[in-house]
Amino acid sequence: MTITIEDITAAEDRIDDAAGIRRTPVQTSSTLGDRLGADVRLKCEHLQKTGSFKPRGAFNAIHRIADGDADRVVAASAGNHAQGVAFAATELGLESVIVMPETAPQAKVDATEGYGATVRLVGDTFADAMATARSLAADTDTEFVHAYDDPDVVAGQGTIGLELLEQVPEMSLFTIPIGGGGLIGGIATAVKAIDDSVRIVGVQAETAATVPQSLRKGRPVENETPDTIADGIATGSVSDLTLEIIDDHVDEVVTVTDTEIAQATLWLLERTKQLVEGAAAAAVAPLLTGAVDCRGETVVPVLGGGNIDVATLQDILTRALVDRRQFVTLTVRIDDRPGVLGEVAEIVGHHDTNVRSVRHDRSEEGLPVGTADLVIRMTTPGTAAIDRIIADLEAAGYAIKRVVPAIHSDGDDADGDEDGLTR
């Protein structure tokens, strides 16, 4: 199996018939460009129908299936592919069954059903869902639609490359996230067929990476426990089809950590006002860290999806507040008597600070009789505010035992330095 530029142009013609699939915009990011010394254009595929690039490949594949005898398609997915298949099948008049693990977020189940699919929840893992989907595909008049191991799906994703060649003809560098390889496989095939000088860099999450090892060994290597906040690229493997394309057309593959992905997610939200999922932010992460040198180039990171899990977004925002010393735990030694809490609260309240929780600790070893530690978790405007709060508390006669990041969302405080401030 392989795909050609002719397959991708044919896919473009088919996708033009889809009422909901749109030509997504390109946004110039002068802020990122100034930082990197480059001309940066963001391909906003997270603004595509269903919130990701997936309907392109799904529509192309199911369009071909609809021309045959099948009247139902089945897929296994816990995320964007599920919604892409559901939308495309409904658009083309076919039934769709999507098998998801029982652990799939309810929001994704609801979204997939909203696009017209019947959802079946099976097992605890994606492997369980895949096995069931494969068995359903054995039924008469039913076809299985794989997320990336399908030439028609890869060709459909390649239409993004054709779009970009028209939208940014001067581009010299792409950064594209890699999960199963369908997105980068399609784009790379299209772009290299027309302009081989364009540099294409693939990006994988470090804890879910399979491509570097697969390229070294010359065959797909599986990662049985991919664990990353970028769940859209946590496939655990590529296919023979996509690995061959990557080997032939992708110039470099780099990995990024979850921390770098989280920072890129927040950077995009704050500086470009684009809310994307971790898999999309991965395309920007190596530019921010300098792992990919793009100075003097016209670079296009492909933002493949915007369906970020709310709990993941909360974790990212909390981590950012901690890193910026805006979410801290302050421990104040006080006389254990009525009214002290009010006195401390009044001092803290003068500094535009939001107190998240307060507790009295009277059980610490060595704590003098008649005293207690007041443990305050708070969010502040920044480091200067914390310094002012500490200065005012100390001026009022209170001893500050420690200041540590408030990294736990369950109400527990982070460990700190018992002997002084951790700043």
* Alpha-helix residue ranges (DSSP H) falling in 304-382: 310-323, 340-349
The predicted pLDDT at position 310 comes to 87
- Where residue 126 sits, what CATH number does that domain have? 3.40.50.1100
The predicted pLDDT at position 404 comes to 87
Residue 374 in any domain: the answer is: yes
Residue 289 in any domain: the answer is: yes
Residue 297 in any domain: the answer is: yes
Mean pLDDT of 236-248: 95
Task: Quote the CA–CA distance of 39 and 28 in Å, as a whole number.
Answer: 8
Residue 176 in any domain: the answer is: yes
Q: Based on the structure, what is the number of domains in the chain? A: 3
* Alpha-helix residue ranges (DSSP H) falling in 218-282: 240-249, 258-267, 278-281
**Claim to verify: residue 157 and residue 289 sit in the same structural domain:** yes
**Claim to verify: residue 117 and residue 250 sit in the same structural domain:** no
Residue 143 in any domain: the answer is: yes
Residues 6+ apart with CB under 8 A from 395: none
For residue range 264-281, what is the model confidence (pLDDT) as tens digits?
999 999 999 999 999 999
Range of the domain at 353: 324-405
Task: Quote the CA–CA distance of 157 and 242 in Å, as a whole number.
Answer: 12
How sure is the predictor about 119, in pLDDT bands with cuts at 50, 70 and 90? Answer: very high
Q: What percent of the chain has pLDDT over 70?
A: 96
The predicted pLDDT at position 407 comes to 63
**Claim to verify: residue 176 and residue 233 sit in the same structural domain:** yes
Tell me the C-alpha to C-alpha distance, in Å, between residue 6 and each of 13, 154, 155, 260, 418. 11, 13, 9, 37, 67
Listed residue (160, 162, 144, 165) closest to 53, CA to CA: 160
Q: If you average pLDDT over each of 75-84, 171-180, 377-386, 402-411, which comes out highest?
A: 171-180
Residue 417 in any domain: the answer is: no
**Claim to verify: residue 227 and residue 301 sit in the same structural domain:** yes
- 421, pLDDT greater than 50: no
For residue range 298-315, what is the model confidence (pLDDT) as tens digits?
999 999 999 998 888 988
Phi/psi of residue 43, each to 5°?
Answer: -85, 110
Complete edge-to-edge strand list for the sheet that includes strand 399-405: 354-361, 371-379, 327-335, 399-405
For residue range 132-159, what is the model confidence (pLDDT) as tens digits?
999 999 888 999 999 999 999 999 999 9
**Claim to verify: residue 328 and residue 311 sit in the same structural domain:** no
How sure is the predictor about 243, in pLDDT bands with cuts at 50, 70 and 90? Answer: very high
Residues 6+ apart with CB under 8 A from 158: 3, 7, 8, 11, 185, 186, 187, 189, 190
How sure is the predictor about 364, in pLDDT bands with cuts at 50, 70 and 90? Answer: confident
**Claim to verify: residue 128 and residue 46 sit in the same structural domain:** no
The predicted pLDDT at position 409 comes to 40
**Claim to verify: residue 178 and residue 241 sit in the same structural domain:** yes
How sure is the predictor about 411, in pLDDT bands with cuts at 50, 70 and 90? Answer: very low
For residue range 12-51, what is the model confidence (pLDDT) as tens digits?
999 998 889 999 999 999 999 999 999 999 999 999 999 9
Residue 222 in any domain: the answer is: yes
For residue range 186-219, what is the model confidence (pLDDT) as tens digits?
999 999 999 999 999 999 999 999 999 999 999 9
Residue found by looking up tokens 């978790």 in the block: 377
How sure is the predictor about 410, in pLDDT bands with cuts at 50, 70 and 90? Answer: very low
The predicted pLDDT at position 323 comes to 80
- 2, pLDDT greater than 90: no
Task: Quote the CA–CA distance of 125 and 169 in Å, as a whole number.
Answer: 43
Mean pLDDT of 111-116: 95
200, β-bridge pairs: 174
Listed residue (299, 300, 302) closest to 38, CA to CA: 299
The predicted pLDDT at position 396 comes to 95
**Claim to verify: residue 95 and residue 235 sit in the same structural domain:** no
The predicted pLDDT at position 290 comes to 96
**Claim to verify: residue 291 and residue 180 sit in the same structural domain:** yes
**Claim to verify: residue 107 and residue 171 sit in the same structural domain:** no
Task: Quote the CA–CA distance of 18 and 336 in Å, as a whole number.
Answer: 70
Q: For residues 186 and 163, is the Cβ–Cβ distance under 8 A?
A: no
Residue 421 in any domain: the answer is: no
